[in-house]
Amino acid sequence: MVRVGQDSYAGTPGLLKDGRSVLVRRLTSDDLELVVDFSHRLSRRTISMRMLGPVVTLDRAGLARFMNFDPATQLALVAVHEDRAVGVADVLQVEGHPDRAEVTFTIADEFQTLGLGGLLLEHIAVAARDRGIAVLEADVLAENQAMIRTLENSGYAVEFGPPGSVLHADIGIRPRMQVVARSDRREHQSVRSSMQRIFDSRTIAVVGAGLSRDNLGRAVVRNLVTHGFPGRVYAVNPNIGAVMGLPTHPTVSAIGEPVDLVVVAVAAELVPAVLRDCAAASVAAVIVISVGFGELGETGRTAELDLIRFARNHDMRVIGPASMGILAQQGTRRLAATFSVSLPTPGVVAMASQSGTLGLAVLEHACRTGLGFSGFASLGRSADVSPNDLLQWWEEDPATAVILLDLERVGNPRKFARLTRRVSARKPIVSVTSTIRTVSGTADAGSPDRGALTDALFSQTGIVATRTLAEMFDVARLFAHQPVPGGDRVAVVTNASQPGMSTAAACRAAGLRPAELREDTVAALRELVPGGDPVDVIDLSPRADAARYEAALHALLADDGVDSIVALFIPPLAQSPETISAALLRAGASAPRKTLLASFDGTEGVLTMPGAEGCGVPTYTFPEAAAAALGRATAYGLWRRQPAGVVKPLPGVFAARVRAVVDRAGTGELGAAEVADLLVAAGISVRPEAGDGREVAVSVVGDEVFGPLLTFGVLGDPITLYGDVSYHITPVSDLDARRMIESVRAFPLLADHDLAALAELILRVAWLVEEMPELAELQLAPVVVGATGTGVTVCAARVVLQQPIPGGGYFEPRVQTL
């Protein structure tokens, strides 16, 4: 496999406010030329701000001395963009004060105001804290308002000294929720800017477009030029003169015009040369359709990593490899950079898929069922652009109301868990869980149903979990065309009694309950239901016409005790399906806040009224599918209305002591003394002897999708025989901790015990998870829960540490500094 080039840098990618990418890494003595070039590009003003005085030049000898620092007391990081340094941050330990260090920042003039100072501060703070440093000291000119604002807005505890021409700042770098929130906001803005460069592209080049009808590049060109892309399209192929009427160019750089997005459809060994050419042409983003990278094993993964490092170092985002392209459409504007033959109509659904061939079937199914799309992205290997990036783009996309995920992996687990909780509060996310790997360490949990467990974990983030693509699209049609159900009370209207009874049973199985109708509603329905009172099912009889359907629906939709309606229509010979359909649509339009869906005439799709855009009633071939979709949508509505709780600061916790134990212990299972020190730092004491009470277990296990999970269960038969264990992702709020306890079936055994103390123990363990990216496993068992007011006692504990997994989800950026 051919590599991209030798100018790739190892480092941690970071995004700036304008979407451009930098790599942050450790500065070494080999980087003298890099730093000399950096210093020569600094303006007099920037040098003066950095040196706190009227210095106008930095000589080579002085820079060489700076580069020859003692790694035991000094650390420097550099941000690199397109092979040039654009920012440097360094810390020097204060002599005699091992927990304090002086920090300085220097940002290239053209990269100031883009958030690079804040990004470097995040990195340098983590690296410094890993060395046991608790406070960074900085001296800043009072006129350097940009750096002062960076410090003030960092989320860290910053104290400025007395006013003067030079301000001294003490920066407490212990993790705080404000830091996480600020980091998330900065990253969100940066990711959105980088995604906008993809989905709002104005010029697109397709490399590898050929003449053969089965040529993938040619298919991409065809979709772009024939489906409403308003920008310019270029075909790149050095071997032919034209593709579909477009003159070809030998390379991207030979086009001679700025190109926003390049679609690469050539053999894998040619991709590195194409990316080098794209870098020379200052391309913003690349979609790699080519296969033959990470899926081939270690050699392919190395080439793939080298590809991505090169791209990020040259300010390019990459979708793929093994992508089938993207679709972005709003109104009449369509960007169809994909080789798919089927392209759905514009709509409110966006989807991310990691399966290329399956993505083709997905788009075809959307066309067949009338589900409109605002966006689609086939991520393939997800080597760079990840589901997390797309979630942050679609989160604020006004054209997107529903997000679908068909994933095998999610990238950064903790980020995915936090991000989906945030997005789900605004827009429903529907995912297929059958292909996603699940919990890997559940020795204490018996043998839980892995599918049910994954569904439960997804539900904690608000994600609507489905087992199949068909179920995912069933739910998507409901969300796309109807409001989220306001409750679980459902009414079933039918013209055939047996299907109606089956539907009512399916609704109960989906967690719904029959609506209790008001007396005036029942009286109105008696006039429409032959031969009896409406109970679970409103059976209008096979003779029901459009007027009877519409009257029954109006009565039910006007009843405050009805949250949703499932309408069935089995067409007899005498009735016109078109008139019944129109009746359903008119009734639904009269109550836009109520949820209405149908199983209509054995069809799958959406009932619509000509000229009424956005007004539609989803219909399902079988009523059981309608009931299942409604049940999932109702559960999502309940989650969205549920109080979230708060993550409160805990008294008696010491992050610096936790870090000291971790640094001293290394990896592997900790000894008894180290475990005790670690738990004491979290406000948890271990005492082998305990009084009377109920024995429980609180643990941490690893999960490949969501990262570390908290587990809770009552010891004895509930766990060993029944696997009665609750799981929860982190962070954990006060209400989450109580829900964990109450969700196990053995909860009644804890009556009259100190549940408040038990919930606090769970919160302390959750705090440890957030503080320790190295935590691989933690077991507190037995934990004796005493009577109310007497507390809990941890009798035994086990802790295993590991090296943090790259991309494994620690909420702060980390740069390799060893």
Residues 512, 618: one domain?
A: yes
- What pLDDT, on a 0 to 100 scale, did the predictor assign at position 179? 63
Residues 62, 125: one domain?
A: yes
**CB within 8 A of 397, min separation 6: which ones?**
350, 374, 375
Torsion 139-143-149-152 (CA) sign: positive
Cβ atoms of 596 and 564 closer than 8 Å: yes
Q: How far is CA 547 from CA 119, 278, 523, 594, 612, in A?
A: 64, 63, 17, 20, 21
Three-state DSSP class for 644?
A: coil
Distance of alpha carbon 116 from alpha carbon 598, whole angstroms: 53
Q: How many CB atoms lie within 10 A of CB 737?
A: 25
602 lies in some domain: yes
Q: What is the pLDDT of residues 276-326, one digit of tens each?
A: 999 999 999 999 999 999 888 888 889 999 999 899 888 899 999 999 999
Residues 598, 675: one domain?
A: no
179 burial level (CB within 10 Å; 0-12, 13-18, 19+): buried
In 3D space, the residue among 339, 363, 378 whose CA is nearest the CA of residue 218 turns out to be 339
Residues 676, 585: one domain?
A: no
Q: At what angle do helices 387-395 and 413-424 cross, to 10 degrees?
A: 20
Q: Indicate whether 34 pLDDT > 70.
A: yes
Cβ atoms of 17 and 189 closer than 8 Å: yes
Cβ atoms of 101 and 130 closer than 8 Å: no
- H-run or E-run covering 668: strand 668-669
Q: What is the pLDDT of residues 471-487, one digit of tens each?
A: 999 999 999 999 999 99
Residues 594, 705: one domain?
A: no
**CB within 8 A of 485, min separation 6: which ones?**
563, 564, 595, 630, 633, 634, 637
In 3D space, the residue among 371, 441, 376 whose CA is nearest the CA of residue 702 turns out to be 441
- Residues 759-775 have a mean pLDDT of 92
- CATH number for 152: 3.40.630.30
In 3D space, the residue among 450, 445, 484, 485 whose CA is nearest the CA of residue 467 turns out to be 450
Q: How many CB atoms lie within 10 A of CB 634?
A: 24
Q: What is the pLDDT of residues 579-622, one digit of tens each?
A: 999 999 999 999 999 999 999 888 899 998 765 555 799 999 99
Containing structural domain, residue 150: 12-175
Distance of alpha carbon 682 from alpha carbon 586, whole angstroms: 60
Residue in this structure with the two tokens 């060395």, named with its chain if needed? 131
Cβ atoms of 564 and 595 closer than 8 Å: yes
Cβ atoms of 701 and 442 closer than 8 Å: yes
- What pLDDT, on a 0 to 100 scale, did the predictor assign at position 56? 47
Residues 687, 611: one domain?
A: no
Residues in the chain: 818
Distance of alpha carbon 74 from alpha carbon 124, whole angstroms: 11
Question: Distance between terminal CA atoms of the chain?
Answer: 29
Q: Indicate whether 552 pLDDT > 50.
A: yes
Q: Indicate whether 176 pLDDT > 70.
A: no
Q: What is the pLDDT of residues 89-147, one digit of tens each?
A: 989 888 878 888 899 889 998 999 899 998 999 888 888 877 778 889 988 888 788 88
Exposure string over 365-388, b if 16+ CB within 10 A, otherwise e: bbbebbbbbbbbbbbbbbbbbbbb
- CATH number for 795: 3.30.470.20
282 burial level (CB within 10 Å; 0-12, 13-18, 19+): middle
Give the domain-ending residue among 128, 155, 175: 175
Confidence of residue 753 (pLDDT cuts 50, 70, 90): very high
**Would you state the torsion angle of the CA atoms of residues 773, 775, 781, 786, taken in this order, to the nearest 10 degrees?**
-20
In 3D space, the residue among 589, 491, 571 whose CA is nearest the CA of residue 534 turns out to be 491
Q: How many CB atoms lie within 10 A of CB 484?
A: 17
**Phi then psi for 454, rounded to 5 degrees?**
-60, -40
Amino acid at 257: E
Three-state DSSP class for 332?
A: coil
Residues 550, 674: one domain?
A: no
224 lies in some domain: no
Is the backbone peptide bond immediately before 731 cis, with ω within 30 degrees of 0? yes
Distance of alpha carbon 772 from alpha carbon 124, whole angstroms: 18
Q: Which of 20-34, 340-354, 800-814 has the highest mean pLDDT?
A: 340-354
Q: What is the pLDDT of residues 537-546, one digit of tens each?
A: 999 998 899 9
**Tokens encoding 809:** 């989800």
**CB within 8 A of 6, min separation 6: which ones?**
none
Q: Indicate whether 786 pLDDT > 50.
A: yes
Q: What is the pLDDT of residues 719-733, one digit of tens each?
A: 888 889 999 988 888
Amino acid at 651: P
Exposure string over 537-567, b if 16+ CB within 10 A, otherwise e: bbbbeeebebebbbbbbebbbebeebbbbbb
Exposure string over 651-688, b if 16+ CB within 10 A, otherwise e: eebebeebbebbeebeeeebeeebbbbbbbbbbbebee
Distance of alpha carbon 706 from alpha carbon 671, whole angstroms: 28
Distance of alpha carbon 668 from alpha carbon 663, whole angstroms: 12
**Tokens encoding 125:** 């703070």
346 lies in some domain: no
Bridge-based pairing of strands 333-338 and 325-330 is: antiparallel
Distance of alpha carbon 674 from alpha carbon 654, whole angstroms: 15
∠ CA 260-262-264, rounded to 5°: 170
Q: What is the pLDDT of residues 350-409, one digit of tens each?
A: 999 987 667 888 899 999 999 999 999 999 998 999 999 999 999 999 999 999 998 877
204 lies in some domain: no
**CB within 8 A of 561, min separation 6: which ones?**
489, 515, 516, 517, 518, 521
Q: Indicate whether 570 pLDDT > 70.
A: yes
807 lies in some domain: no
513 lies in some domain: yes
Three-state DSSP class for 159?
A: strand
Q: What is the pTM of this model?
A: 0.81
368 lies in some domain: no
Amino acid at 429: I
**Tokens encoding 320:** 């793929």
Confidence of residue 17 (pLDDT cuts 50, 70, 90): confident
Number of alpha carbons in the 13 Å side-chain half-sphere of residue 792: 27
Amino acid at 731: P
Exposure string over 518-533, b if 16+ CB within 10 A, otherwise e: eeebbebbeebbeeee
Cβ atoms of 631 and 512 closer than 8 Å: yes
**CB within 8 A of 159, min separation 6: which ones?**
169, 170, 172
Cβ atoms of 97 and 785 closer than 8 Å: no
**Would you state the torsion angle of the CA atoms of residues 5, 8, 13, 17, taken in this order, to the nearest 10 degrees?**
-80
Q: Tally the domains of the chain.
A: 3
462 lies in some domain: no
Residues 659, 797: one domain?
A: yes
- CATH number for 562: 3.40.50.261
Torsion 415-464-484-736 (CA) sign: negative
Residues 614, 745: one domain?
A: no
Give the domain-ending residue among 175, 194, 211: 175
**Tokens encoding 108:** 């290239």
Distance of alpha carbon 343 from alpha carbon 134, whole angstroms: 55
Distance of alpha carbon 794 from alpha carbon 786, whole angstroms: 11
Q: Indicate whether 253 pLDDT > 70.
A: yes
- H-run or E-run covering 335: strand 333-338
Residues 678, 619: one domain?
A: no
Residues 591, 720: one domain?
A: no
Residues 615, 497: one domain?
A: yes
The DSSP result for 289-303, as a single string, is ----SGGG-HHHHHH
Confidence of residue 161 (pLDDT cuts 50, 70, 90): confident
